[in-house]
Chains A and B, each alone.
Chain A
């Protein structure tokens, strides 16, 4: 009985969940740094990291392993954590704002909208331009989605269909711009469709970090209001929540997180759908915990997906979005079935 599970000290359940997730993330970071086209022993990974922090511990793996671990894999791992945490937190927030467990930043078209900005930004200013313009376009698209949501209110599945239609149209525009652009400055179409962490750099990570952390902080602060919103917008207002302000600031933050990740790694789907729904089963609906656990789970999910994407048919890489969709597609089907039954 799920009700019975809830009663067995939810605080302990949350503590166990967080501990396990942090442990899993640490293990996945280790695996991602060590595995790949070149397999580097954990002791050598440790040696590289120790020397980077100025300590002469462990074996000295030499400059080529240092380059692989520190210059190539480390920013990729950190970006994976950032993207996963950001998208999963954004998904949890969207599901709370729209009171719809099917909501996901990519499914609702916010990711595709952000990629239009990101493509144009990439032409103008490389990865930083891509992240900045992606952020701006993500915010705008999120506010457009809010307008569309008003018209589709009451039918969760229909609302998602509206988002899918919006996403398809926006993705077509991304395609036009990509094919009309210089291949050397703009990432290829599959980057915008499936996402990829392969071009991760410290610079890209740093830029995305600032935006994702700031916007995610907005989501965490508003968590309590999201709980009240679950009672309904009218009831939340009766309890003193400024619903318009809450929803607008949440959606702008979701748009910023999504846009920054899209600018950095393209459109990675389903993270914001799968992870918050799983997290809700583990720690319940209260957003203070749901947001944090979603962020941790999202980081782990993307790290695991990227590990598979890099090593499955190594040395060839597949898009990380292919792996997340492999999990996300069936989850969406299950959620749709449940939404129809309800």
Chain B
């Protein structure tokens, strides 16, 4: 399988501050990759670099084999969709209008109604986005991003402000997106939701990758305790790994 996303030694500096340093990430078709780590670890900057919003100071990002720096906005929009942080706060359009905007780049065919139903926003179709709650904003923004129908989906905190049922619903849907042969990379704060659904983990700390691999490899009590600066225990409930902050 060819890599949908390949980042090699990606570094981003502002002045002397290194926000992302020497990051190597691959997302293959069919994979759901979780990027985790404490606040300020460089996760959102990394997403901006992978999305082509920022140009790396060093290293390179390739989407489907093409250097991101050489793709124009339109080509990028057909290869990857992006959910940024704080989406859609003041948007005056209706939910249906905003989701339909995902179809602007003429990407792959995705059923608009199915995506809206999956994100549980179909009943909000005629509501003006600015009047929605935080969790509803997230779901509408997700529906718009998924409707874009791109091979690669980059999500910065797709579970922000979502209740536990909607978290589960979104993660299962993303699993399904990966099962279609697309690739998903999601920045997640909920380690347990990530553990339940992600194929691989990228654990970031201090602008660099601290660990990368499967849940079993990365979710280690000692590693997590070091990275988060708080004692953590990892246990198993049934087949699931569960991470808990220790007393």
Contacts and interface: CB of A to CB of B under 8 A. Distances in A.
A231 B105 CA distance: 15
Interface string A221-238: 000100110111011011
B93 A239 contact: no
A284 B97 CA distance: 11
Interface string B24-49: 00000000000000000000000000
Contact of B97 (A234, A237, A286): A286
Contacts of A240: 73-74, 76-78, 104-105
Contacts of B82: 235, 238
A241 B128 contact: no
Contacts, number: 65
Contacts of B51: 238
B47 to A, nearest CB: 11
B91 interface: yes
Contact of A239 (B53, B72, B77, B91): B77
Contacts of B131: 3
A242 interface: yes
B85 to A, nearest CB: 10
B102 A231 contact: no
A230 B98 CA distance: 10
A51 interface: no
Nearest to B105: A240
A188 interface: no
Contacts of B105: 239-240
B94 to A, nearest CB: 7
Contact of B104 (A230, A239, A243): A239
B73 A241 contact: yes
A239 B101 CA distance: 8
B84 A235 contact: yes
Interface in A264-321: 280, 284-286
B77 A224 contact: no
A286 B73 contact: no
B90 interface: yes
A6 interface: yes
Interface string B77-101: 1100110100110111110011001
Nearest to B104: A239
B92 A285 contact: yes
B77 A231 contact: no
A183 interface: no
A230 B74 contact: no
A224 B93 contact: no
Interface in B228-243: none
A99 interface: yes
B246 to A, nearest CB: 38
Contacts of A224: 104
A12 interface: no
A227 B102 CA distance: 12
Contacts of A235: 82, 84, 87
Contacts of A241: 73, 104
A7 interface: yes
B73 A231 contact: no
Nearest to A234: B84
A225 to B, nearest CB: 9
B180 interface: no
A228 B51 CA distance: 18
Nearest to B106: A240
B148 interface: yes
Nearest to B82: A238
Contacts of B91: 230-231
A237 B93 contact: no
A99 B81 contact: no
Interface in B43-81: 51, 53, 72-74, 76-78, 81
Closest 7 CB pairs of A and B: A240-B77, A240-B105, A285-B92, A240-B74, A238-B82, A239-B104, A7-B126
Given A227-B97, A231-B91, 9 more contacts: A3-B127, A6-B94, A231-B88, A235-B84, A235-B87, A238-B84, A239-B148, A242-B73, A286-B97
Interface of A: 3, 6-7, 99, 224, 227-228, 230-232, 234-235, 237-243, 280, 284-286, 342
Interface of B: 51, 53, 72-74, 76-78, 81-82, 84, 87-88, 90-94, 97-98, 101-102, 104-105, 126-128, 131, 148
22 contacts: A3-B131, A7-B126, A99-B90, A224-B104, A227-B93, A231-B87, A231-B91, A234-B84, A235-B82, A235-B87, A237-B73, A238-B53, A238-B76, A239-B102, A239-B105, A240-B77, A240-B104, A241-B73, A242-B74, A285-B92, A286-B93, A286-B97
